Chains A and B, each alone.
Chain A
Amino acid sequence: MNPLQTLLARKKKNLLSLFFTAGFPYLESAEDIIAAAEEAGVDFLEVGMPYSDPLADGPVIQQSSTKAIANGMTIPLLFEQMAKIRGKYEIPLLLMGYLNPVLQYGTEKFFEKAAENGASGIILPDLPMDEYQEEYEQLFQKYNLSMIFLVTPQTSDERIKKIDSLSNAFIYVVSSAATTGKQQDFGQAQQDYFKRLQAMNLKSPMIAGFGIHNHQTLQQAWEGLNGAICGSAFLKKLEQNPTPKDAMAMLMKDLGLQ
């Protein structure tokens, strides 16, 4: 089992994960963010690999990516940064990004280095399920990495079941039909959607992302599913506060956890 799988075997409810963009707001931010998150009791982290054209992302993540690329963040540099802190923190790490930079880095080398530098899994939103099965599944298995698939309110039950059968960590539940960073409170539609998913009795835990930004949205994700992932709201705090530690504290306050 990788560290994420170990965590998910132990903790089934009220999981909290954060997304941040590596290299944002400053080039060496990753370690400070990881340290602050571990101290604050965050369960696991998604480390964003910045991409010039993030199709599924709204303005906040787009801008953080642009800034991170301008700061000089690249996949080789991220692996260097991860190598330096290997073993220092226990919080499980996932890598999240778009497929093109991974292809240019070299697919197999990417998986090898990701595993070597302590990642538990990878989220590639633009890697479709059939391509995954054809070319990537063996790589994930070979390097003991978990692929995290997304489902949305438009995903059919049949497809959700298939995704569940291919998953070995958790399913990323996109809260509404939206790019990242839309911050409306969750309404009846989300509650019905979460209920529909619960009623399917899937083997994988389900963690909601997209739109988690305050106490209300966090609680609803926790009540309806197994956990929540907060991204754009955290990036905003990182931008507005002098240190990741301060940003972390402000976010925890907004989420009603402090």
Chain B
Amino acid sequence: MTHLNPKALPNERGYYGPFGGAYIPEMLYPNVEELKTNYIPILESEKFQKDFHKLLKDYVGRPTPLYLAGNLSEMVGAKIYLKREDLCHTGAHKLNNVVGQALMAKHLGKKRIIAETGAGQHGVASATVCALLRLPCTVFMGSKDMARQKPNVMRMRMLGAEVIPVESGSKSLKDATNEAIRYWINNPSETHYIIGSTIGPHPYPDLVARLQSVISDEIAEQLQRQEGIDAPTHVVACAGGGSNAAGAFFRFIGNGKTILVGAEAAGEGVDSGLTAATIAKGTPGIIHGCKTLLMQTLDGQVEEAHSISAGLDYPGIGPMHAWLAKENLAQFVPVTDKEAMEGVKTLTRAEGIIPALETAHAITALFKINLKKEDIVVVNLSGRGDKDLDTYQEYFKNEEAQLNAV
């Protein structure tokens, strides 16, 4: 770790202000405790650092470019840089975390990896690294997400992972996470659960944020070189569970000069009842082992989230982000399905980059915040759109049909 911003870290019990902690049944206690005791010593060990950074460089393809998007800058009216996480091997930032956690699992002597996935990017990343490190891999994925992210299901299977369809509840990310946790309870020894975002019981949110913080470390270095500054005026990232946002924000949290912006999936609209805008609509409670904001009924039943984007279709958000919002250290902007689709078109035509549907929320957010010409904005381009081509084709076909009908 080149730089560990103390303001981005939870306390020793995993709390960011009132959010975080580890609300887990006794069955998970030994595994989570083992991780909690070992993660910092392992992360800080010379061997881990060497192996991790070597793989980030030669396998993931880091550092990813910080690209000055000229056409987009003109459209927005500010200087817009894109942090090209879409150019990571497997097409998204998710691989940073998986490489780190899989190396950690090896250090801990684990023999098997399990993972949950929404958009399939985390599942593909897990299957990929497991192929590389010769670890058997089981991925839990909601059946609704398997249908809307087909190419990723195929990739996982080609890579040798077992993909288990989850039929319970909303058949999406929340329930895939439930099933992964249940599997872990039933197979506690020798299994490491690689959570794909900054969610879950302590130490996961901190572990994932630290592994993703390589993104903002690189941004700082690249801006220094390209602009002669050590921090941008704004960082914009989409937030599902929050891992790419955590990584892009990490170094700049609480620095007093960078405005941090998270783009949340509003689905059909924040007040439509069909939304995944957790910061806007959530209340404090517990989901997947941590205290955070979540969308729930007055009786404390978790509500189903709704977003066209499988990776943001989650009724909770990481405890770090709940705290950033509470402390006004970051602002969160809701972006609807429809607006996100506009973001897809905008970036594709302006820069020749087809973004992932999740990422498109961040592009749209650029047009919803106040920006001045002098601002230097970094958008975390968390992933590429290959996995979403079916959805795009379907959506734009309908849109064309509607236009033709007028």
Contacts and interface: CB of A to CB of B under 8 A. Distances in A.
Interface in B16-30: 21-27, 29-30
Contacts of B29: 128, 152, 154-155, 159
A42 to B, nearest CB: 25
A115 B365 CA distance: 50
B301 A101 contact: yes
B186 interface: yes
Interface in A130-162: 130-131, 149-152, 154-156, 159
A100 to B, nearest CB: 4
Interface string A87-115: 00000000000111111110000000000
A166 B32 CA distance: 22
A100 B26 contact: no
B296 A100 contact: yes
Given A52-B169, A53-B169, A100-B286, A179 B185 contact: yes
Contacts of B181: 55
B182 A52 contact: no
Interface in B116-149: none
Contact of B186 (A59, A62, A151, A182): A182
B299 interface: yes
B188 interface: yes
Contacts, number: 104
A109 B178 CA distance: 29
Contacts of B288: 53, 55
A241 B189 CA distance: 39
A155 B25 contact: no
A126 B185 CA distance: 13
A9 interface: no
Contact of A131 (B23, B178, B284): B23
A127 B13 CA distance: 14
Interface secondary structure of A, over-half rule: loop
Interface in B257-309: 283-289, 296, 298-302
Given A56-B25, A103-B286, A154 B30 contact: yes
B174 interface: yes
A14 interface: no
A127 B23 contact: yes
Contacts of A98: 286
B38 interface: no
A70 to B, nearest CB: 11
A154 B32 CA distance: 12
Contacts of A125: 25-26
B398 interface: no
B255 interface: no
13 contacts: A52-B302, A53-B174, A55-B182, A62-B168, A69-B301, A100-B300, A101-B299, A104-B285, A126-B24, A149-B26, A151-B26, A159-B29, A177-B189
Given A52-B302, A53-B287, 14 more contacts: A51-B301, A55-B185, A56-B185, A100-B286, A104-B283, A104-B299, A105-B300, A126-B286, A128-B21, A128-B29, A131-B21, A154-B189, A178-B186, A179-B182
Give the 4 A-B residue pairs with the shortest CB-CB distance, closest first: A104-B300, A101-B300, A125-B25, A52-B301
Interface of A: 51-53, 55-56, 58-59, 62, 69, 74-75, 98-105, 125-128, 130-131, 149-152, 154-156, 159, 174, 177-179, 182
